[in-house]
Chains A and B, each alone.
Chain A
Amino acid sequence: DAGVIQSPRHEVTEMGQEVTLRCKPISGHDYLFWYRQTMMRGLELLIYFNNNVPIDDSGMPEDRFSAKMPNASFSTLKIQPSEPRDSAVYFCASSLPLIGKNIQYFGAGTRLSVL
């Protein structure tokens, strides 16, 4: 298995532009998570899905951020418009629905720089 695949690995954009980050979870995993990592705030959970349905989006910082999961093999995190403070590494993770043995598998991340 190729693991969780994120694209692009690096994204540089200018303030005000729309940014779309993509994630392909591990096949068969029912849960998908989006995290953001910064030096100041560490790793923060933004939102997670179960069977393509958003379950908890309480970590989404503001309305500029939106996430979708149109099918079991693809999710996007969109920032519109982007701001310099959105610069961070964004991770996607997926897991099986095994409540007693919940293991999240993380992708390599997308490093976003907003100039």
Chain B
Amino acid sequence: DAKTTQPNSMESNEEEPVHLPCNHSTISGTDYIHWYRQLPSQGPEYVIHGLTSNVNNRMASLAIAEDRKSSTLILHRATLRDAAVYYCILRASGTYKYIFGTGTRLKVLA
């Protein structure tokens, strides 16, 4: 299974953009890139996912490098509610199996 590498923690000021990086140098051509986040004392929740092209939704944007060996989750304006652990996950096409890494703990400062 391809692995992901993320920084252990990051800090951001409230209402500023946040860029959360993820390296996945062993990604295969058909692996999807998923991002989930886990708020304190809750289960993980879906944020966004993509395959090759950049993606936007109401929660965030996902920028995928041209060689797909890295990606960045972008929160356009961080709020205190965005403080969570963010997981970057690779999912092989044809499977429903997620391999969670250690994630990035995002702290948002008021």
Contacts and interface: CB of A to CB of B under 8 A. Distances in A.
Interface of A: 4, 31, 33, 35, 42-45, 48, 50, 55-56, 91, 93, 95, 99-109
Contacts, number: 53
B100 A31 contact: no
Q: Which of B32, B46, B94, B103 has its CB near the most chain A CB atoms (within 10 A)?
A: B46
B45 interface: yes
Contacts of B101: 42
Contacts of B44: 43, 91, 93, 104, 106
Interface in B69-103: 87, 91, 93-94, 96-103
Contact of A102 (B45, B91, B102): B91
Interface in B19-53: 32, 34, 36, 42-46, 49
B102 A108 contact: no
Nearest to A108: B43
Nearest to B94: A99
B53 to A, nearest CB: 13
B9 to A, nearest CB: 15
Q: Which applies to chain B's interface (DSSP): helix, strand, loop or mixed?
A: loop
B97 A56 contact: yes
* Contact residues on B (Cβ < 8 Å of other chain), bracket: 20 to 34
Interface string B42-68: 111110010000000000000000000
20 contacts: A35-B100, A42-B102, A44-B100, A45-B99, A45-B100, A50-B96, A55-B96, A91-B44, A93-B43, A99-B93, A99-B94, A102-B96, A103-B49, A104-B36, A104-B44, A104-B98, A105-B45, A106-B43, A106-B44, A106-B45
